[in-house]
């Protein structure tokens, strides 16, 4: 499945561009658009389902940023490069792009921390299993 950010417009150079995703209209409907087909829907949810049937996962910018933050947290623990979001350069850049305000960035910080903790648990369990701690 291909993941795209809704309202994605790609510049193809030569004064051409290609649009793909879900575009809200002024009438309150949503236009689902792929490279080969399009359809208008009354709800965003209907448009998302239609796109999924065609192999596209459509994310909002916020959903995409949360996934990035979680991936940064997981990699920071796996690579032992950071123990807090403030020590992760990629995370700090993401926060800056998202606006940098504390209240707006709290979900990103929570996603980073949760993924870091989950990866830590995975690594710890693997190390304990390899050391024979879980054997009877």
Token readout for 28 is 């309150």
Q: Which of 54, 53, 73 is nearest to 65 (CA)?
A: 73
Same domain, 41 and 66: no
pLDDT digits (tens, 9 = 90+) for 104-127: 889 999 999 999 999 999 999 999
Q: Is the dihedral of CA 117, 118, 122, 128 positive or negative?
A: positive
In-domain check, residue 136: no
72 and 49 within one domain? no
Are 68 and 29 in the same domain?
no
Please check whether residues 117 and 81 belong to one and the same domain. Answer: yes
Mean of all residue pLDDT scores within the chain: 90
66 and 122 together in one domain: yes
* 119 shares a domain with 70: yes
For residue 9, is pLDDT > 70? yes
Question: What's the Cα-to-Cα distance from 24 to each of 53, 84, 112, rounded to whole Å?
Answer: 19, 37, 30
Predicted pLDDT of residue 132:
86
Question: What pLDDT score was predicted for residue 136?
Answer: 57
């Amino acid at each position: 499945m291909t993941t795209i950010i809704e309202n994605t417009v790609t510049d193809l150079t030569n004064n051409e561009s290609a649009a793909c995703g879900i575009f809200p209209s002024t009438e309150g409907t949503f236009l689902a658009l792929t490279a080969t087909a399009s359809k208008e829907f009354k709800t965003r949810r209907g448009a998302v389902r239609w796109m999924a049937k065609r192999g596209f996962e459509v994310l909002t910018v916020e959903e995409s940023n949360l996934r990035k933050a979680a991936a940064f947290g997981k990699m920071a623990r796996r690579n032992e490069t950071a123990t807090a979001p403030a020590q992760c350069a990629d995370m700090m850049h993401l926060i800056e792009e998202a606006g940098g305000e504390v209240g707006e960035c709290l979900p990103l910080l929570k996603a980073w921390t949760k993924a870091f903790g989950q990866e830590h648990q995975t690594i710890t369990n693997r190390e304990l299993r390899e050391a024979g701690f879980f054997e009877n």
